[in-house]
Structure 1
Amino acid sequence: MIKKTEQHKNPGVHRREFLKKSTLAGSALIIAPLTIANEGIYSTQPTKYELDVFIFSKHLQFLNYQDMCEAAAEMGFDGLDLTVRPKGHVLPERVSEDLPRAVEAMRAMSFSPTLMTTNITNADKTVNIEVLKAASTNGFTHYRTGWLDYPENRSIPESIEVYAEQFRKLESVNKELSLIGCYQNHSGNHVGAPIWDLPHLLSKTNNTHLGCQYDIRHAVVEGGRSWELGLRNIASHIKTIAIKDFKWGIVNGKRKPINTPLGKGMVDFKRYFSLLRKYGVQVPVSLHFEYGLGGAEHGNSEITIEPKKVFEQMKNDLSFLRNTWKEVQ
């Protein structure tokens, strides 16, 4: 078993840091948090730009902060989508102590704090406010929210009105803290799973500090061949995107979606990327690895295969993502 090592501070500046700084300094193609699509205007010409790709830190939870950041830099990522939630890299109740330490390790690799993933769905709990304040203080710009469900004891339109008020309050806090909250379309009986409910819900906010984290894997699971219509409908609300792939298979006698490496499943990435360009969706990207990686896919603190093999597969997916994106430019 590979065990999670103790957290420790980075002793100094590495040559890799200098090289990465030089690379970043020479690039003017940084992904803007607010885009043409976010303003509800589609591009008349396909937009050409590079992707800023952040690794979802759930899949590196077998590493401490320094080792996690060094691994992400060596693999070629632009930063981390840091888990700040129960069983994450940073626990919500320890956010004031541990988030600065995680950020210190990120900055040592010239990573700017940008994305984090939380379980926050409202502005009513003290711990939620503390997490958001810490995120703002430490320089983060975007966070993924938790998920919402449709209870059986009220209609779906009634639930949308309830959640709209909840989101308006959360957006108000986000605005004060200069943060953008992103609700993920997750397959299953969740709010946002069918996509078509999300624009109606999000339209009740100002669409500036609260929007959607669009997940193409979950969109294809639920939308089948109509996922393009869902993307067209939600495009003006997209603030971040999550990348992963899947195929249909039989598990315990039942047909279910099975997660795969990129390009091995059902997602038509060339078509998807061409539509992102068409709609001017220019936002940070969180890359996920939900298929078998010795427990890393589940966010385990101990994994059963060598980290080297995990990193190799992660690099393969990152290369596929970047190469496919270039092909549609």
Structure 2
Amino acid sequence: MVYAMSSTDLIRIVSRSSPMALAQVERVRAELAALRPGIRTEVVPVTTSGDRWMGDLSALGGKGAFTKEVDAALLAGEADLAVHCVKDVPADRPLPAGTVFAAYLKRDDIRDAVVHPGGLTLDQLPEGARIGTSSVRRIAQLAVSHPHLECVPMRGNANRRLEKLDAGECDALLLAVSGLERIGRTDRISEILPVETMCPPIGAGVLALQCREDDTATIDAVSGLGDADAWKEITAERMLLHVLQGHCNSPIAGYARAERDGRLSLRARVFSPDGKTVLDAHEWAGPLDPATLGTSVAVALLRQGAREVIDTIPH
């Protein structure tokens, strides 16, 4: 294949320096090498404020704390491509002006896993067992399903959390299955929770490739890595979150599913932080496009009182 622009011969990928982030970048490099063998890639590492800060994320402005420095490197022309976990990219505000998602990779496992040193499942954990998690989504759902368990704040990348578990700072962890797969630690999984027990975060298991919108060479080079089902599912999910105007302290969960016959469904839930209020909506797209499905499910939740639930949560 002949490239029209020599600038595509090298793609600089900006990445957080955590083992998880670097593993995600390696997946992109491998897939790109297979698709476009003529392109070289190099990694531009950054440390984000979210990586440095171990307190409450809302004090830094929420999930954007993990993306701000990455966005800056992209916009300054220091890098050409960023790899994001979609679940970490805020949807209550647009992507930074001048940037665009060029592709969503094929979706990984969306479920959560229990990690317990003795191999116990969630149902087997004794009363008062300490679950290490800072996720408002997980805390709210545990309050509903396992109110006898105690949640203790637990930040840091997955490797760091496993170290804290081993040091006795908690009795068990809840971690994303896809994250444990990426860092090669599925051996630590005691139980994989069905989505009915622990509804996943919006954007779970999907990596997004972000470029400058005027960088057509990079966009053309990486867009072929995109997965059509992931695009439909994420478009529906992020529109849902956008319409709800959910922030990082909002316990909002949900997932879209593209069936082999082309049908698309979206299930979403909004919780109060204590789990006492649970709103639930589930719709099929039918003739609706993914964004309209996301809007429709969000409106169904708003009719049930989601605005009041979200607005009463400080952020």
Q: Normalized against structure 2, the TM-score is what?
A: 0.25
Q: Which has more strand, going by share of residues?
A: 2
Q: Which has more helix, going by share of residues?
A: 1
Q: Normalized against structure 1, the TM-score is what?
A: 0.24
